[in-house]
Amino acid sequence: MRRLKIVEALREALEQSMAVDPKVFLVGEDVRIGGGFAVSRGLVERFGEHRVLDTPISEIAFSGLAIGAAMSGMRPVVEFQFGDFVFCAMDQIVNQAAKLHYMSAGQVDVPVTFRLPVGANRRGAQHAQCTESLFLNVAGLRILTPATPYDAKGLLIAAIADPNPVLFYEHKLLYPFAGSEILKSLDREVPAEPYTLPFGQAVVRREGRDLTVVATMLMLHRVLAAAEILAREGIELEVIDPRTIAPLDRETICASVGRTGRLLVVEECPEQGGWGNEIIASVAEKQGGSVKLRRLGTAPTPIPYTTSLENWVVPDTGRIVEACRAMLKNGGPG
């Protein structure tokens, strides 16, 4: 089996996309030496400095550059060293990239991909946020949240080829992931040839009868670890990975909840305003009060720098296990 780490899968996706299409180029801070997490390492040696562009520390500037290039027919990939820095380019992404196709009556496409490393990893309040929920209210953006090397490669190639602006989220703690004994169900071969994955198509990572749990990126792995613990108690979780939250595969989630009668959404975004609320609302609209619903997200506080406090703020496997037990404690749904 050909195994890759997520960082390697992303690098291969960039390399193959650039090899196939000369309009694809990479732009960001220090991308010629690999960027903040070595994803782009070696690309400048193959493709040259005219396609791997180092920039000043100005997200507002290089995001605007990329959007203009996309409008002119290029396919830029923008790397933010940390996903938190996307806030410096909010006007470019929200008011320009997301709306220009609509405002031009379809005459202008904006095929730009913004790569955003996110997640708590002991770097403090300005370098550890998950921001994907903040963009769900912006029409015109696609939001991708891969959790495995296979998905990371296929979704990134698809994102670069897509005519729409894409926010591509990468959890920093998953960069070295290449499978494990506990999570061997996710450890699948990453093909050497290019391939794409569809947006808006969730995957059932584990089948179960008692409780549907939806999670993305790092939280998916923690949910699967919790599922192993609960299985020893006779509790079977059905674990769903949306893979993309815009578009969102509501049908797969609702069908699962229809079988289990219970839904827990686990996310690293804060519970207030989180993307999990959209899933819960969709299920509630379809199935009303016949199901038991709960969300588990990050506490409503900036991400602390101290390890012990960060561990308290962000959901871990133990709290996921406790939340599942609590939902099953009283028996039936509702």
Q: Which two tokens stand for residue 314?
A: 């962000």
Contact 266, 319 (CB under 8 A): no
Using the 8-state DSSP alphabet, how is residue 173 labeled? G
Q: Which of 164-168, 180-184, 292-296 has the lowest mean pLDDT?
A: 180-184
pLDDT on residue 333: 45
CA dist 230 and 324 (Å) reads 9
CA dist 93 and 114 (Å) reads 9
The verdict on 220 and 325 lying in the same domain is yes
Using the 8-state DSSP alphabet, how is residue 203 labeled? E
296 within some domain: yes
Q: Which two tokens stand for residue 45?
A: 């040696």
pLDDT band at 77 (very low <50, low <70, confident <90, very high): very high
Q: Name the residue among 207, 261, 211 with its Cα closest to residue 235.
A: 211
pLDDT at 334 over 50: no
- List, for residues 105-116, the tens digit of each pLDDT value: 999 999 999 999
Q: Which two tokens stand for residue 204?
A: 């059932």
CATH number of 157's domain: 3.40.50.970
The verdict on 125 and 222 lying in the same domain is no
Residues found in the chain: 334
The verdict on 209 and 177 lying in the same domain is no
The verdict on 218 and 164 lying in the same domain is no
- List, for residues 260-284, the tens digit of each pLDDT value: 999 999 999 999 999 999 999 999 9
In the chain, the DSSP E strands lie at: 24-28, 52-54, 75-79, 113-118, 142-144, 166-171, 203-206, 211-215, 237-241, 244-246, 262-270, 292-298
Q: Which of 33-42, 227-236, 325-334 has the lowest mean pLDDT?
A: 325-334
Tell me the CA distances in angstroms from 155 to 12, 104, 198, one per residue in order. 12, 27, 7
Residue 50 known to be catalytic: no
1 within some domain: no
The verdict on 214 and 296 lying in the same domain is yes
Q: How buried is 305 (Cβ within 10 angstroms: 0-12 exposed, 13-18 middle, 19+ buried)? A: middle
196 within some domain: no
Range 223-237 average pLDDT: 96
Mean pLDDT of the chain: 93
- List, for residues 140-160, the tens digit of each pLDDT value: 999 999 999 999 999 999 999
- Label residues 191-219 b or e (16+ Cβ within 10 Å = b): eeebebbebbebbebbebebbbbbbbbbb
pLDDT band at 122 (very low <50, low <70, confident <90, very high): confident
Q: How many domains are contained in the chain?
A: 2
334 within some domain: no
pLDDT on residue 102: 97
**288 vs 148, higher pLDDT:** 148
Contact 3, 178 (CB under 8 A): yes
Contact 114, 138 (CB under 8 A): no
Q: Name the residue among 234, 192, 217 with its Cα closest to residue 8.
A: 192
157 within some domain: yes
Q: What SS3 class is residue 151?
A: helix
The verdict on 78 and 172 lying in the same domain is yes
The verdict on 158 and 208 lying in the same domain is no
Q: Name the residue among 307, 299, 239, 243 with its Cα closest to residue 269.
A: 299
Catalytic residue among 79, 101, 127, 221: 127
The verdict on 257 and 291 lying in the same domain is yes
The verdict on 232 and 117 lying in the same domain is no
Of 186, 213, 242, the residue that ends a domain is 186
pLDDT band at 181 (very low <50, low <70, confident <90, very high): very low
pLDDT at 234 over 50: yes
Of 126, 160, 186, the residue that ends a domain is 186
Of 186, 213, 245, the residue that ends a domain is 186
pLDDT on residue 330: 67
pLDDT on residue 123: 81
Q: How buried is 189 (Cβ within 10 angstroms: 0-12 exposed, 13-18 middle, 19+ buried)? A: exposed
Q: Name the residue among 240, 196, 223, 190 with its Cα closest to residue 322.
A: 223
CATH number of 225's domain: 3.40.50.920
Range 82-107 average pLDDT: 96
pLDDT at 178 over 60: no
Range 226-231 average pLDDT: 96
pLDDT at 296 over 90: yes
pLDDT at 166 over 50: yes
**Consecutive H or E run containing 300:** none
Catalytic residue among 59, 132, 238, 310: 59
Q: Name the residue among 233, 228, 197 with its Cα closest to residue 213.
A: 228
195 within some domain: no
192 within some domain: no
Q: Which two tokens stand for residue 237?
A: 């979780």
pLDDT band at 2 (very low <50, low <70, confident <90, very high): confident
The verdict on 169 and 269 lying in the same domain is no
The verdict on 158 and 39 lying in the same domain is yes
The verdict on 171 and 215 lying in the same domain is no
- List, for residues 29-64, the tens digit of each pLDDT value: 999 999 989 999 999 999 999 999 999 999 999 999
pLDDT on residue 247: 97
Residue 171 known to be catalytic: no
End-to-end CA distance of the chain: 44
Q: What percent of the chain has pLDDT over 90?
A: 85
Q: The domain containing residue 313 runs over which residues? A: 203-329
Token pair 């290449």 is found at: 178
Q: How buried is 269 (Cβ within 10 angstroms: 0-12 exposed, 13-18 middle, 19+ buried)? A: buried
221 within some domain: yes
